[in-house]
Chain A
């Protein structure tokens, strides 16, 4: 078919006609990265060189002391030389993140799927979920440490409590998107409630589920690092307090850099997953 690639995507809006009010979800993701040409890559690299190089130059020029702000080159050196020392702590943080987020997201997803089927139950439970979402779970960490000690447990619990409600509240928004036309369509073929859930409700909720997973995992990372700063002798958060108390600023910033990269990797992961499985809406 010669003209197959010239057909414009008309009626983009109509595909989501029944889904008023959710278009913000995935399109916020879609407006993110997406590199198209060599020129764009060159521009990005050039700006990065100017920013990093300029910082290096300015810090050297004004003789800014290392304990105020270390030079990018010093941070890079610290990152390479001290990475073997930092790596085990990165491992600890990842364990807390995966375990806490895994449990939190799973419970959040199941709760969202079940609760949205019963509007009355949803009304009763929503205030508590909102409370969990709005209360910084870091506030509970000292208490959790009293009860569970300085090991993984208080951190994993805090991560689960921080990420779970985030996943739940976004997923619930997804599951609440009732398109009565599509449900009537499935019912006209004799679909059961379970079939309607798996073949209509779940796919419709998927874009919002990915938004929830992304926000939840970032919140989980935040809480993991915060909890490590509160107490316990390991983890990237613990390294931050430890390096800053010893005024080892290049190492401190090396850890910050690792955390930034971790955050970006999480974002990119869910962006790509969303693109693969929920691109019909973007």
Chain B
């Protein structure tokens, strides 16, 4: 397959079973997904549907029970230097100041940090001059921006983000979304992002993957073709509103069918 149409990241029939005390738990079941280079893909779905399991499988942090994940056509069997991760809480090391936190990946890898590039990133996210600060001295948004710099500092070609801004307030979250878009427009990277916010997913993504719960499966994939940068005006259009509602119905609908025996006609009622 020529490189141009070969997916950057390819998940093939990924299945993961966790052995727990109360028996085996099937977290994700035969998930398949192709992510092209420099694409932003969001994964949404009800909680407990295996989103994080799928993302961890892509990062090589744990093994699959069956199936495989390919990065640039070769199977991932462990953490790769091509992949950067951003976790739900900023996950900074509290005993290190900001500089030492950003230097952490390089310390582990035994390589020299590209100071010029890192300073440029710090400037971009507005953290210049904060290198000597400890995480507890920074706000939640600043911590998450530092975590973003840390993940980008070694120039990974894939960025995996696990609900990166879930712990932030709505305004900080929007600011972070704009920052990610800005950085991506400047320096395209393949991004896979788990989120609980459909608005965030639509704002950032080229495609949105909806997962169904227990076991986690890929239920639907939506193309998001609004032009970038996605201004507030674009985000306020009827098309965005409709897409939000369709995705919401897919996520919530799944849950209603599990708990209440509601006639499907009620769920699919057209908006008044």
Contact for A16 among B88, B94, B107, B108, CB less than 8 A? B94
A281 and B94 form a contact (CB under 8 A): yes
- Interface pair A199/B94, CB less than 8 Å apart: no
Question: Inside 8 A of B129's CB, which chain A residues have their CB?
Answer: 1, 4
The verdict on B137 contacting chain A, using a C-beta distance below 8 Å, is yes
**CB atoms of A10 and B139 under 8 A apart:** yes
User: Across the interface, do A14 and B137 meet the contact criterion of CB distance under 8 Å?
Assistant: no
Least CB distance from A23 to B in Å reads 12
A184 and B61: CB pair below 8 A? yes
Given contacts A11-B140, A181-B89, contact A189 B94 (CB under 8 A): no
Cα(A66)–Cα(B83), bound, Å: 78
Enumerate chain B residues within 8 angstroms of A200, measured Cβ to Cβ.
93
Interface pair A7/B137, CB less than 8 Å apart: yes
B208 at the interface (CB under 8 A from A): no
* List of B residues within 8 angstroms of A204 by Cβ: 95
Q: A103-127, CB under 8 A of B: which get 1 and which 0? A: 0000000000000000000000000
User: What are the interface flags for A199-228 relative to B under an 8 Å C-beta threshold, 1 for contact and 0 otherwise?
Assistant: 110011010000000000000000000000
Q: Does A64 contact B (CB under 8 A)?
A: no
B104 in the interface, Cβ–Cβ < 8 Å? yes
CB neighbours (8 Å) of A9 from chain B are 136-137
B192 contacts the other chain (CB 8 A): no
Nearest CB of chain B from residue A7's CB, rounded to whole Å: 7
CB contacts under 8 Å to A, within B71-102, are: 78-81, 83-85, 87-89, 91-95
Q: Contact check: which of B134, B138, B139, B143 meets A280 at CB < 8 Å?
A: B134
Who on chain B is nearest to A190 by CB? B79
For window 1-54 of A, CB contacts with B under 8 Å fall at 1, 4, 7, 9-12, 14-17
**Residue B109, interface by CB 8 Å:** yes
Q: How far is the CB of B168 from chain A (nearest CB, A)?
A: 11
Q: Nearest CB to that of B60 among chain A residues?
A: A188
Neighbour of B91 across the interface among A7, A182, A187, A189, CB < 8 A: A182
Give the residue among B59, B83, B104, B129 with the most A Cβ atoms within 10 A: B104
Expressed in whole angstroms, the minimum distance between the Cβ of B77 and any Cβ of chain A is 12
In the complex the two chains form, what is the Cα distance from A182 to B80 in whole Å? 17
Q: Total A-B pairs in contact (CB under 8 Å)? A: 77
Check if A145 is an interface residue, CB within 8 A of chain B: no
Q: Which positions 17-70 of chain B face chain A at CB distance < 8 Å? A: 56, 59, 61
Contacts A9-B136, A280-B95, A280-B136; A189 near B104 (Cβ below 8 A): yes
Interface string of B137-155 (1 = CB under 8 A from A): 1111001000000000000
* Residue A144 interfacial (CB < 8 Å): no
Complex interface: chain A residues within 8 A of B88 (CB): 181
CB distance from A188 to the nearest CB of B (A): 5
* Contact A199 to B104, CB < 8 A, known contacts A182-B93, A280-B95: yes
Cα separation A17 to B105 with both chains bound (whole Å): 22
- Please tell me if the beta carbons of A199 and B136 are within 8 angstroms of each other in the complex: no
Q: Quick one: which of A11, A181, A199, A281 contacts B107, CB cutoff 8 A?
A: A199
Interface residues of B (CB under 8 A from A): 56, 59, 61, 78-81, 83-85, 87-89, 91-95, 104-105, 107-109, 129, 134-140, 143, 167
CB of A272 closer than 8 Å to a CB of B? no
The reply on A77 being an interface residue by CB < 8 A is no
Chain A positions near chain B (C-beta within 8 angstroms): 1, 4, 7, 9-12, 14-17, 181-182, 184-191, 195, 199-200, 203-204, 206, 278, 280-281
Whole-angstrom distance from the CB of B119 to the nearest CB of chain A? 16
A203 contacts B108, CB within 8 Å? Answer: no
**B95 lies within 8 A of A188 (CB):** no
Q: Which residues of B contact A191 (CB under 8 A)?
A: 108
Is A11 touching B139 in the complex (CB atoms < 8 A)?
A: yes
- Nearest-neighbour CB distance to chain A for B110, whole angstroms, equals 10
Contact across chains for A203 and B109 when beta carbons are under 8 A apart? no
User: How long is the Cα–Cα vector from A47 to B108 in the complex, in angstroms?
Assistant: 54
Among B81, B87, B134, the residue within 8 A (CB) of A184 is B87
6 nearest CB pairs, A to B: A15-B136, A189-B108, A15-B94, A280-B95, A188-B85, A189-B105
Q: How far is the CA of A14 from the CA of B129 in the complex (A)?
A: 22
- Judging by beta carbons under 8 Å apart, are A199 and B87 in contact? no
Contacts of A11 in B (CB 8 A): 136, 138-140, 143
**14 contacting pairs across A/B (C-beta < 8 A):** A10-B139, A11-B139, A12-B136, A17-B89, A181-B89, A181-B91, A182-B91, A184-B61, A185-B85, A187-B61, A189-B105, A190-B80, A200-B93, A203-B93
List, in ascending order, chain B residues with CB within 8 A of A203's CB. Answer: 93, 95
* Whole-angstrom distance between the Cβ of A26 and the nearest chain B Cβ: 12
Q: Which residues of A are found within 8 Å of B108, using beta-carbon distances?
A: 186, 189-191, 195, 199
- The answer to whether B140 and A14 have CB atoms under 8 Å apart is yes
For residue A15, which residues in chain B have a CB less than 8 angstroms away from its CB? 92, 94, 134-136
